[in-house]
Structure 1
Amino acid sequence: MRGDRLVSLVLLLRQHGRMSATALARELEVSTRTVLRDIEALSAAGVPVYAERGRHGGFALLPGFHTELTGLNHDEALALLVAGSRRGAQAFGLGPALASAMRKVIDALPESYRATAAGAAQRLLIDPETDLLARRLTAEEVPDAIGAEVRRAVLAGHRLRIRYAAADQAPKWRTVDPVGLVTAGGQSYLLATRSGADRTYRLSRILAAEELTEPARRPDRVDLDRAWQERSTRFRTGGDQVTVLARVEPARRADLVGTALAVLAEEADADGRLRLEVTFQDRRHAEWALWHLGTNAEALSPQWLRDSLRDRGTAIATRYGESSGK
């Protein structure tokens, strides 16, 4: 790993000209002390890196220095393959590998193309962290060690032992046959089988993981997109789902449909509002969706949902009808 870091350090200096130890540490995700030790190692190996003191000082390479650098390693190549989504690389624990790979790609470009490529990259933003309403699109946090262990088992085709904390259950150890990894909606999932049955696990709920030497019991080839679609369909049609009949203003239809699992029926009422029969994951999901639409939607059934929304609205009205205490 240190060899890859030294290569990355040289590439950073080649691309930026001069960088402080603090900036290098931030890019390489190490301490400044580690950077200083790496600088000493490069100097001892004959790489002409020197220090410039002062307010705008830092480390730089002698002008004209060039060396043939090693190609992409396995994780860097894999990171580029999933780089269509920056979050995909981060979710699978490949963020540092992606950054390192991109530095190598930039360094491989002809000198005349580097400035153009850097300028173009600044004008393209894919998958930002917030939407137009400034809502932060938070992705789950998966410890690097767990993500790497799961990824190794998936790619090597080995069985995997995980300690998994399912919702509302105590953590348990399970031995699974990993099929693939999927990232969707800021969440990452492990598709696997256990005792021959399909299982889907949230990576953020895996508390520990251990790759086993035993080969996974799985087909040699897999259509991961199809497997994900099939599991999504089973998820939407099972469990504690509830069906809701609601009336909604046409302008807010997309908001209602966007939160529902499925639309079972739809028709227009005489007053222009839309009547939709939709399904939600559970009671809490249904209540949340209708509450956020305010007076732009009305739950017609089931009765428990109408009662719940009425009670919540009454409680809010009572609270704001009281004195503020000033």
Structure 2
Amino acid sequence: MRADRLVSLVLLLRGRGRLTATELADELEVSTRTVLRDIEALSAAGVPVYAERGRRGGFALLPGFRTELTGLSHDEAIALLVAGSRRGAQVFGLGSALASAMLKVVDALPESYRHTAADVAQRLLIDPETDLLSRRMVTEEVPGSISAEVRRAVLAGNKLRIHYAATGRSPEWRTVDPIGLVTVRGQGYLLATRSGAERTYRLSRVSAAEVLPEPAQRSERVDLGRVWQERSTRFRTGGDRIDVLVRVDPARRDELVSTALAVRTEESGADGWLRLEVTFQDARHAEWALWQLTTDAEVLAPPSLRTCLRDRAAAIAARYGAP
């Protein structure tokens, strides 16, 4: 760990120039005393770092000093720099490691295009905090100690004991065989099996975790993308599914289809609107999806869904009616 921190310290000085002990401590997430000890260690190892006193003083490297790091191609460096803007590292407790890695990536570039790659990466934004409608993406906070323990079990292939609170239930201890970690829109999930049955655990609901010495019962290789897709499909198609017959303005057709689980039939009506039979996960899902389409869609069946939408519209009209 200290060797990595010393490398990060050198890279910070190379990339930023003169920095105070306080600034270095903030970047490396250590105390100023630790920074001063690291500076002494670097000097003893022959790294030309020197101190400048005064109001604008700090630590700096002699001009031209360069560490020996493996080089990357221009596109490889850009890919890594852009990846550094994603939230997965934060969800899995790798934020500090990612920041350190980004420093090494920039320093590993040839001098001829180091600044060009950094400028290009600044012009590519992945998963901003809000979308065009100002809907904020919330990244769930997972304590670093829990993230590290879960991650260690996944990568080492050991069984994992977690204190987990399922929705609407009290927390309880469970022993699982971890398969992999997935992050989706700022939310982290542990894919695992328990007594041979597939399980998916939300990391934010894990209050404690402990790696066990026993090896996990799992395959040597896994296609995590396929596993996640299969579990997502089963989750969406579970529950009390409902078929809905609806007429919709063709301009809103894609919006309707994107919220449905499946489209069973589709035909054009004499009035220019489309008639579709679509399947939703349950009545609540159907009511939400059709309400978004306002007067650009009309439910023809089942009658119970028509009643729900009518009652909701009547309640809104009463709320905003004339006093």
Bin the TM-score by the shorter chain: 0.7 to 0.9
Amino acid at match of 1:50: A
> What is the DSSP-based 3-state SS (H/G/I as helix, E as strand, rest coil) of the residue aligned with 1:170?
coil
How far off its partner does 1:221 sit? 1.5
For 2:22 and 2:282, locate their aligned partners in 1 and report how far apart those are by CA, in whole Å.
49
> What is the DSSP-based 3-state SS (H/G/I as helix, E as strand, rest coil) of the residue aligned with 2:112?
helix
For 2:240 and 2:190, locate their aligned partners in 1 and report how far apart those are by CA, in whole Å.
22
2:194 is aligned to 194
TM-score normalized by the length of structure 2: 0.84
For 1:295 and 1:22, locate their aligned partners in 2 and report how far apart those are by CA, in whole Å.
60
1:290 is aligned to 290
The structure-2 alpha-carbon separation of the partners of 1:64 and 1:203, relative to structure 1 and needing over 3 Å to count, comes to same
For 1:25 and 1:262, locate their aligned partners in 2 and report how far apart those are by CA, in whole Å.
54
Query: Structure 2: which 5+ residue stretches go unaligned?
Result: 71-79
How far off its partner does 1:69 sit? 6.3
Contact 1:164 1:206 in 2 (8 A): yes
For 1:318 and 1:21, locate their aligned partners in 2 and report how far apart those are by CA, in whole Å.
64
- Answer yes or no: is 1:227 the counterpart of 2:227: yes
Contact 2:154 2:179 in 1 (8 A): yes
The structure-2 alpha-carbon separation of the partners of 1:263 and 1:167, relative to structure 1 and needing over 3 Å to count, comes to farther
The structure-2 alpha-carbon separation of the partners of 1:322 and 1:20, relative to structure 1 and needing over 3 Å to count, comes to farther
Amino acid at match of 1:259: T
The structure-2 alpha-carbon separation of the partners of 1:242 and 1:52, relative to structure 1 and needing over 3 Å to count, comes to farther
Over the matched positions of the two proteins, sequence identity in percent amounts to 67
CA deviations 1:218-273 (Å, max 9, x no partner) are: 11112222222222222232223333332222222222222233333322222222
CA deviations 1:113-163 (Å, max 9, x no partner) are: 221222121122223233233322333333222222111111111111112
CA deviations 1:275-308 (Å, max 9, x no partner) are: 2333333333322222222222223333332222
> What is the DSSP-based 3-state SS (H/G/I as helix, E as strand, rest coil) of the residue aligned with 1:217?
coil
The structure-2 alpha-carbon separation of the partners of 1:42 and 1:292, relative to structure 1 and needing over 3 Å to count, comes to same
Q: CA RMSD in A?
A: 2.8
2:141 is aligned to 141
Contact 1:130 1:137 in 2 (8 A): yes
The structure-2 alpha-carbon separation of the partners of 1:265 and 1:173, relative to structure 1 and needing over 3 Å to count, comes to farther
2:58 is aligned to 59
Report how many aligned residue pairs link the two structures.
309
Contact 1:7 1:69 in 2 (8 A): no
2:51 is aligned to 50
For 2:51 and 2:254, locate their aligned partners in 1 and report how far apart those are by CA, in whole Å.
59
The structure-2 alpha-carbon separation of the partners of 1:27 and 1:267, relative to structure 1 and needing over 3 Å to count, comes to farther
Q: What does 1:96-135 correspond to in 2, within 5 Å? A: 96-135=96-135
Amino acid at match of 1:61: A
CA deviations 1:154-210 (Å, max 9, x no partner) are: 111111111222222222221111111222344322211111111122222222221
1:40 is aligned to 36
- Answer yes or no: is 1:315 the counterpart of 2:322: no
How far off its partner does 1:58 sit? 5.7
TM-score normalized by the length of structure 1: 0.83
The structure-2 alpha-carbon separation of the partners of 1:241 and 1:270, relative to structure 1 and needing over 3 Å to count, comes to same
For 2:257 and 2:318, locate their aligned partners in 1 and report how far apart those are by CA, in whole Å.
31
For 1:24 and 1:313, locate their aligned partners in 2 and report how far apart those are by CA, in whole Å.
59
For 2:320 and 2:25, locate their aligned partners in 1 and report how far apart those are by CA, in whole Å.
51
Contact 1:287 1:308 in 2 (8 A): yes
The structure-2 alpha-carbon separation of the partners of 1:203 and 1:132, relative to structure 1 and needing over 3 Å to count, comes to same
